[in-house]
Structure 1
Amino acid sequence: MKDDIRLDNRKAEGGNRSRGGDFYLPFWSDVKRHISGEVDLAEATDARVRSNRNFRRLYPLLRDGALNLLSAKLRWSNEPVEIVPQSVHGNLRLTDPAGTIRIKDALHARVRGEYVRVVYPYFSEEPALPEEGGRLGLWAMQQALPELDPNDMRIIDILRQTFFSPQTTVLQGNEELIFRENYRSLIGEWERLKQE
């Protein structure tokens, strides 16, 4: 949070808030291209690491997690998977507390031409995404992407090689309340840190 506050302050002073691009976007793009058969994820990751030393430590870990997830959990039946060219984006607008939660660049795949999966990645090294975090994330996806079937949504914690779905991580009905409480707490912490 402190880094984000520093970036906000830099922008308020007329500077740029950017850190030079999204660290995970190239990797996530390569995952999609790997699933559609355009590239080999291992080779694409090696090329990314050679082109940017900042990727050297984390990208190989992400590659291994993604490949293990794909082989062990998502493609156990070797079904043909087609990546829908248009990524999925949506916004969850909150009024109390006020804010917008963005779902950006979720993987949109059609399997055997019969069913769809909408997959959103969790990349953080720490903490691991807990069960409650998976539930809250699924709830947020369902609210932000109302045009899609909620049963098709998944969140994957790539580094831990785990995934959350409405079938395995059943919503309990209190997600909106918990989400808002957590969001309110984060805003309070943000305001406190800004004063330091």
Structure 2
Amino acid sequence: MSLKSISLKKLLQLCGAEEQRLVSEIRNDIRLDIRRQQGKTSGGGDFHPPFWRDAKNFVFEGVDLYDATEQRIAKDKNKKRLYPDLRDGFLSWWDKERMTTNEKIGILENSIHNHYPVPHFDLVLKVDNLLCLQVGNDISKVIYPYFPEIPSLTPKWARVGLWLMEQALSEFSITEMKILDVIRGKDYSQNSHPLTGKEQQIFDDRYSIILELWNSLKKEYPDFQE
């Protein structure tokens, strides 16, 4: 059951989805589970990691992100529509990020991640593939990418995402964390969108609804196995 082990970006996408899209996403998730159970591939692989590798190489190695994006598109025409939007959103954000400091920016670490067992739920939250920056000698920034085109990340769910990051990455302060809505080039942090103290309850309520819907819909798929 993929809903029991889920990336933060997918979880935030489900949390923010309108009802009709939520049903569609869950149905698709169940069908993918069935294909995996039958030993079939989902086809095409994950869409976003190649772009994110290029974005990291742009930050740390000076790779031309325009050229890298064109090469990705040349190899896979399915990337033709969204990869330029991801590139432009990321570069817009990066230009603003660079303007906040004159310090040298380098790699903090490459291996920062966690698969976090969320209390009160049979759920493992995957917080992987972070952009981890060392700014000068004293400042660390841990940036999680939100890729979905729909829905856009809202302040409400960004705060929940930051709260979940804080639980999963306990070795860092929440003041060092950001979530980046890549396509829109907009980030969310404790500084720009302070937590309200209600994030856990908001998450618990929403995830309970998602889980109830998942359990209801899976009954329509006799091939699915727990």
Q: Which TM-score applies when normalising by structure 2? A: 0.81
Instruction: Measure how far apart 1:78 and its partner are.
Output: 4.8
* Higher-RCO chain (CA-CA 8 Å, sequence separation at least 6): 2
- Residue deviations 1:28-51 (CA, integer Å, cap 9, x gap): 111111111331111111111111
- The equivalent position to 1:155 in structure 2, one of 161, 175, 179, is 179
Counterparts of residues 1-196 of structure 1 (less than 5 Å): 1-12=26-37, 14-16=38-40, 18-72=42-96, 74-76=97-99, 77-196=101-220
Bigger helix fraction: 2
User: Where in structure 2 are there 5+ consecutive unaligned residues?
Assistant: 1-25, 221-226
- For 1:88 and 1:52, the matched residues in 2 are separated by 29
- Residue deviations 1:11-59 (CA, integer Å, cap 9, x gap): 23x3235444221101111111111133111111111111111111100
The amino acid of 1:75's aligned partner reads R
Contact 2:108 2:140 in 1 (8 A): no
User: Where in structure 1 are there 5+ consecutive unaligned residues?
Assistant: none
- For 1:56 and 1:98, the matched residues in 2 are separated by 38
Contact 2:105 2:133 in 1 (8 A): yes
Report the more deviating stretch, 76-85 or 53-62. 76-85
Instruction: Measure how far apart 1:96 and its partner are.
Output: 2.2
Report the more deviating stretch, 93-102 or 161-170. 93-102
Query: Closer, same or farther in 2 for the Cα pair 1:17/1:173, shift >3 Å?
Result: farther
Query: Closer, same or farther in 2 for the Cα pair 1:141/1:19, shift >3 Å?
Result: farther
Contact 1:91 1:145 in 2 (8 A): no
- For 2:77 and 2:111, the matched residues in 1 are separated by 28
- For 1:84 and 1:21, the matched residues in 2 are separated by 28
Q: Aligned-pair RMSD on alpha carbons? A: 1.5
Bigger strand fraction: 1
Report the more deviating stretch, 77-86 or 143-152. 77-86
SS of residue in 2 equivalent to 1:109: strand
- For 1:9 and 1:192, the matched residues in 2 are separated by 16
- For 1:135 and 1:144, the matched residues in 2 are separated by 14
SS of residue in 1 equivalent to 2:130: strand
The sequence identity of aligned pairs, in percent, is 38
Contact 2:117 2:123 in 1 (8 A): yes
